[in-house]
Copies of this chain bind each other. A is one copy, B any other.
Amino acid sequence: MDAGASDRPARPTLAAVAARAGVSPSTASLAFSGAGPVSESTRARVLEAARALDYGGPDPRAQSLRRGRSGIVGVVMEDRLREAFRDPMNIAMLDGLADELGPAGLGLLLLTEPGSGGAGLSLAPVDAVVLVGCSTQLDKAVVVLHQRGIPVVAIEAEPMADVLSIDLDNADATARAARHLRDLGHADVALVTLPLEPSHARGALTEERLAASTAFTAKERIRGARQVFPDAGGVVAAGSSVEEGMIAGRELLRGSRPTAVIAQSDLLALGVVRAAEELGIRVPEELSVVGFDGVRIEGAAPWELTTLVQPAVEKGRAAGAAVVELLAGVTPEPRAFTSELRLGNTTARRA
């Protein structure tokens, strides 16, 4: 008994259409796919039969099985959609991805894996998978994908065997920003980091949390900052937003405060600037703030953040291109992108 279709109007099949048209199934198949030599009259007859039977063309599911391809690329983002989409970088990246995948006839299957350990991932009929900022939690799922011969591309993820990585110089770039601050005379620098755990818990940045964390990007950026300021402490935000930045900023700026803040995203950085504003602390005179991403935020004026501009769309495009190549049997080279320090008016020499 089929749940959901109590009355089967006996949906027509290609074979039925072929019979109706008086041709063989394979001929009918060719008539639909367009490829292959089919006489105009035969094709017309097939199409006519299809119309008569109300047949909508070959079933994509059967095609996938037969062809071994579904035309779908899974995109796994660690966060819930609302979190993931809040960050303009993710969107830019997806956009780049879609730019490459769309023309190749591939669709984007959004898979979020909130702790499910990649269950959906191994059940989805995908031709390839793109991991976005995923932790190593997905190990098992990735193993299954490999067993199936499904190529995996990872953007900013802990290196994994047989996973093509599209990387960003998170550590180096942050170190560059840190040196910029040091050159300006800053020594007391605090960090505002992206979430360290899937739970998105707010709080102080402790060594325990850091050690237990699986958030690759956040950890790399911390590592970079500490290459220059080994003792830099800070707070962990619950997400990448101006609001979270303000919360972190208020926390950081009360009492004896740092002279500079390295925030792990522009949204966070802007939040810190706002918090400072709120507390009557002048930026950049009394507090320098740097961000990461290089997104233009609506309403950020009059601030022009000093930030690390990352090529988000390019990252997505590279991932998409890699997927296309992998599906074509080519083995692309891993890519590494670099971010550029853009000086704005939120950093200045230490007072």
What is the interface of chain A, defined by CB distance below 8 A to chain B? 2-6, 11, 54-57, 59-65, 68, 70-72, 74, 80-82, 85-86, 91-92, 94-95, 98, 102, 105, 107-112, 114, 120, 122-126, 143-149, 241-242, 267, 270, 297-301, 326-329
Q: Are A61 and B56 in contact (CB under 8 A)?
A: no
Q: Are A85 and B91 in contact (CB under 8 A)?
A: yes
Looking at A4, A124, A144, which has the most chain B CB atoms within 10 Å of its CB?
A4
Q: Are A124 and B149 in contact (CB under 8 A)?
A: no
Q: Are A329 and B3 in contact (CB under 8 A)?
A: yes
Q: Are B85 and A94 in contact (CB under 8 A)?
A: yes
Q: Are B65 and A147 in contact (CB under 8 A)?
A: no
Q: Are A54 and B147 in contact (CB under 8 A)?
A: yes
Q: Are B95 and A85 in contact (CB under 8 A)?
A: yes
Tell me the smallest distance from the CB of A312 to a CB of chain B, in Å. Answer: 11
Residues of B within 8 Å of A55, CB to CB, are: 147
Chain A, interface SS category? mixed
List 22 A-B residue pairs with CB atoms under 8 Å apart, sorted by A's residue number.
A5-B329, A6-B329, A11-B147, A55-B147, A56-B122, A56-B143, A56-B148, A60-B122, A61-B65, A63-B123, A64-B65, A71-B123, A71-B124, A72-B124, A72-B125, A81-B95, A107-B111, A107-B124, A108-B110, A241-B298, A242-B298, A298-B298
Tell me the smallest distance from the CB of A87 to a CB of chain B, in Å. Answer: 11
Q: Are A242 and B94 in contact (CB under 8 A)?
A: no
Given contacts A4-B329, A62-B65, contact A57 B122 (CB under 8 A): yes
A297 to B299, CA, bound (A): 8
Tell me the smallest distance from the CB of A164 to a CB of chain B, in Å. Answer: 15
Residues of B within 8 Å of A301, CB to CB, are: 299
Rank and list the top 5 A-B pairs by shortest CB-CB distance, nearest first: A299-B299, A56-B147, A4-B329, A60-B125, A56-B144
Q: Looking across the interface, which residue of chain B has its beta carbon closest to that of A149?
A: B11
A68 to B120, CA, bound (A): 17
Q: Looking across the interface, which residue of chain B has its beta carbon closest to that of A145?
A: B56
Q: Are A81 and B60 in contact (CB under 8 A)?
A: no
Residues of B within 8 Å of A86, CB to CB, are: 91
A61-B64, A82-B92, A107-B120 given; name 8 further pairs at CB < 8 Å: A4-B327, A4-B329, A6-B329, A56-B122, A61-B125, A62-B65, A71-B120, A80-B98
Q: Looking across the interface, which residue of chain B has its beta carbon closest to that of A328?
A: B4
* Selected contact of A59 from candidates B6, B105, B148, CB within 8 Å: B148
Q: Are A68 and B61 in contact (CB under 8 A)?
A: yes
Q: Are B80 and A95 in contact (CB under 8 A)?
A: yes
